[in-house]
């Protein structure tokens, strides 16, 4: 099946700093990428939908100025957590799809903000 990678797999940062997470589709062109967040013992919650070359669509309650999403190419989307705070500590997972086909998930990025 198709492969989606995420980098980094884990990151620890100080409060107030910004962190960038990359999501790449390795062997297919992803017309759409989704970003999810998962808190401990909770389900995956969709944060935003990102289509290549256009602005991301954010779910209700997700601050677009805090979680910057860029989908500049058909194989790469980035999520930048700006001015991170401890409450942003979570597991961030991206998924990618090509023209509405099966969603393929990345392995996730564990963010810890001190």
Residues that bind another protein (CB under 8 A): 1, 31-32, 34, 36, 42-46, 49, 91, 93, 95, 97, 99-100, 102-103, 105-108, 110
Min CB(91)–another protein separation in Å: 8
Residue closer to another protein by CB (options 32, 77) is: 32
Min CB(16)–another protein separation in Å: 26
Question: If DSSP states are collapsed to H, E and C, what string results for 20-86?
Answer: EEEEEECCCCCCEEEEEEECCCCCEEEEEEEECCCCCEECCCCCCCCEEEEEEECCEEEEEECCCCH
């Amino acid at each position: 099946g198709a492969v989606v990678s995420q980098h980094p797999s884990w990151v620890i940062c100080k409060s107030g700093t910004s962190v960038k997470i990359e999501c790449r589709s390795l062997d297919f062109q992803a017309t759409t990428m989704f970003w999810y967040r998962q808190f401990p013992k909770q389900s995956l919650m969709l944060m935003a939908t990102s289509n290549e070359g256009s602005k991301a669509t954010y779910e209700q309650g997700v601050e677009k100025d805090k979680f910057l999403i860029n989908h500049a190419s058909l194989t790469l989307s980035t999520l930048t957590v700006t001015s991170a705070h401890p409450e942003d500590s979570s597991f961030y997972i991206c998924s990618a799809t090509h023209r509405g086909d099966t969603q393929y998930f990345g392995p996730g990025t564990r963010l810890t903000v001190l």
